[in-house]
Structure formats: structure tokens, C-alpha cells
Amino acid sequence: METLAAQIASAVNLRSLYPAKHPRVVQSVERMIAAVNETTEASQSDAATYILVGDDLLFGEQVLRNRNLAIDAFVALLKRRGVERITLARGLEPEEAARFVAALASGEALQPSKHIILGRANVSLVDEAAREERRKLSVDQIETIRDSWARFRIERRMPIDQMEQLVWSLIDSISGTTRSMLPIAPLKDHDEYTFVHSINVAILVLLQARSFGIWGPMLHMFGMAALCHDIGKLSVPRDILNKPGRLDDREWEIMKRHTQAGALYLSGLEGTSPLSAVVAYEHHLRFDGHAGYPRLRKRRQPNLASRMTAIADAYDAMCTLRPYDQTVGKAAALETIRGRSGSYYDPTLVSNFVRLIGSAATA
């Protein structure tokens, strides 16, 4: 998967230096086609798909972690040409590949072809009756999980299988706007708030991820990680969670431990995606690497799912009535998030989130 991306970047670079018939250009296009065939064969698929989200490059459902100069060049190329998603199918022909490489190198308008698809994924929606039926199913699942959430402090167990099914149902229920929020009973205490908040954050993360063309098992992993992001708060004493007003230094230090507590709990659950533990640990880290929590020895950028969760977490916290605080309203919440773009939050994700929420408000 890294080889194909590197071969595309190399072919475009050479085409920008030499004419189409130059031997080096011809050879680079041949290597690119060979890489398409090798990559699809290795992945047992008919096509190879890359998705660009911010600075993260996904191959199918996997974020590429082994970045090098060639991969960075490929990401920069996609950004420069405004390509968010690119699919190259087995059977790519030399003339077709050469035209594509030439267009990328020259800045000409990019055109899809028989074996090359550009842009975003088109996701078909289920019909309204089926969507309603699945939505009702999700409400029943929510009530079961709500009961387990309430008993977590004593039993230290979560119905992970049921939570995973709930995320699939949420995926079926979302219609592309935040109006897909499910009906949930009024809050009783902060554990109830944490539960409702986690459902809302999961929906908001699913909406974000889907808008970038993420689908299938990867989308489910994003939703599951968002649903579990605050599970560590169920280990924080209730008197701290429900305290009106500002926490003192000791209380704040205890509150901040929920990220590590959640990550530790989730990492010990058999069958749980490692992404859930990562998001639980990272969702209060800042995009720019400055002071957040937990404190890290070295600055680093949080995972893509963590960055999406951080935005959803902040937005819902400001918009949802809590036992000890008032809401600030959607417009004010979005303005706060905009003001923290580039520091607390990924600016690309912020722009997309504002677009999504704005579309929902005017729909």
C-alpha cells in the first residue's frame, strides 16, 4: 500500500520534469501499474482506495503509520489537487494511467476513467421505513446499555457486544444530519449525563467520519471508540462529577485521570479494538501538541479518531444540559470551536464539522 502511493508520487514528479514519451516517465507509469496489480492482489481486492483526512492517509480502512518522504509527497499532491479519495482498479491501462499522471503533474482538470475514480464515496441510504425500524431497535438497545452503565461502578463490566451492535444500529440510523439523534429520557445524575453524552458524541463522530468517505468496519471502530471515550469517568467519585462550580486543584487532578482509567479498562477487554483505548486516552490532547492531558513526555498529534472525538466531545458538552451547568447554545458552541481551530482542534476537521452542523440546522 505504501509502495503504490510512492510510485504514483514518483510518476507525477518525473512527468513534471520530462515529456510523456521520455523513458523514465514511461517506466514510472509501468511501475505504477505494476504496483496497482501487486497491491490489489495482496489485499485480495479488485481495487486500491486511498482516503485523505487532514494529514492522515488511509488505505481502505487502515491509517498508514509508516510515513516517509514519498508518502508525504503523495499526501501533499492529493491536497494540492483537492482529491479526498482516489480508487485505482486492477486492469489499469498504460494510456489511462499516463493521462492521469499528466493531469496531476500539469494541474489540468482531473477526470475519472474506467479504472480511476476520484472524489468522495457515495453512500446509499436505506429507505425511510427500514431506517425507522432500525432506529426503534437502537432505542431498545440504548435502554439495555443504560442499565449496565448505571451498574458499572459496582460490577465493572460493560456489555461490549451489545454496544458494538448499538454502533451498527447508529450507523444505519444516521441520515447525514444531527437530526438523527435518538430520544433519550431526562438526565438523573452525572452518570446519566456521561451515558447520554457518549451516545451523542458517537453519533457526531460517525457523521464526521462518514462525510470523509469512511465506511464499513473502520466507521464502526470510530463510532465504538467515540461511544467509549468517557468510560473512565465512571471511575471518578460522584461528588467530583456532580460538583457545582469550579473544581479545586486536587479534584481537577482526579478528574483528569479519567483518560488513563478509561484507556486502561478498555485495553484489558478481550476483542475490543485498540482504537477505543487510544481515543479514551487521547481525546483531551490538543491538536497543536501543547498542554492538554494526560501530560506526555513528547508532543505528538492525536489519532484521527481522537481529533474527531475531541470536537464532538466539546460541542456536545456545551450544548447538552448537565446536572450542574447550563448550555451555551449551538451557535456559541460552534464559535468557541472555531476560535480553537489550529490549537485545540484540527482545522480541517473543524471546517468540516461546522459545515455538517450548519447543514443540519438549515435542513
Q: How many CA atoms lie within 13 A of 10 on its CB side?
A: 20
Both 71 and 138 in one domain: the answer is no
Both 134 and 114 in one domain: the answer is no
pLDDT in tens, 23-75: 999 999 999 999 999 988 888 888 888 888 777 788 866 777 666 777 787 88
pLDDT given for residue 61 in this prediction: 64
pLDDT given for residue 363 in this prediction: 44
Q: Which of 56, 86, 118 is the C-terminal boundary of a domain?
A: 118
Supply 75's cell numbers.
499526501
- pTM here is 0.61
Both 54 and 190 in one domain: the answer is no
Domain contains 156? yes
Both 231 and 334 in one domain: the answer is yes
Domain contains 254? yes
Contact 224, 164 (CB under 8 A): yes
Which residue in 196, 277, 272, 269 sits closest to 232, CA to CA?
A: 277
Domain contains 28? yes
pLDDT given for residue 185 in this prediction: 39
Both 77 and 157 in one domain: the answer is no
Both 154 and 237 in one domain: the answer is yes
Both 37 and 156 in one domain: the answer is no
Where in the sequence is the domain holding 108, given as residue range(s)?
A: 2-118
Both 231 and 344 in one domain: the answer is yes
Supply 288's cell numbers.
497543536
Ranges of the chain whose pLDDT falls below 70: 1, 60-61, 65-67, 119-141, 175-192, 321-327, 359-363
Q: Which of 60, 84, 118 is the C-terminal boundary of a domain?
A: 118
Domain contains 140? yes
Both 32 and 147 in one domain: the answer is no
Domain contains 225? yes
Both 25 and 78 in one domain: the answer is yes
Both 76 and 144 in one domain: the answer is no
Which CATH number characterizes residue 211's domain?
1.10.3210.10
Q: Is 196 exposed, middle or buried (0-12, 13-18, 19+ CB in 10 A)?
A: buried
pLDDT in tens, 207-250: 999 888 888 788 899 999 999 999 999 999 988 887 877 899 99
Number of domains in the chain: 2
Both 91 and 224 in one domain: the answer is no
H, E, C per residue of 102-121:
HHHHHCCCCCCECCEEECCC
Q: Which of 118, 152, 187 is the C-terminal boundary of a domain?
A: 118
Residue with cell 463522530: 205
Domain contains 195? yes
Determine how β-strand 62-63 pairs with β-strand 85-89: unpaired
Domain contains 123? no
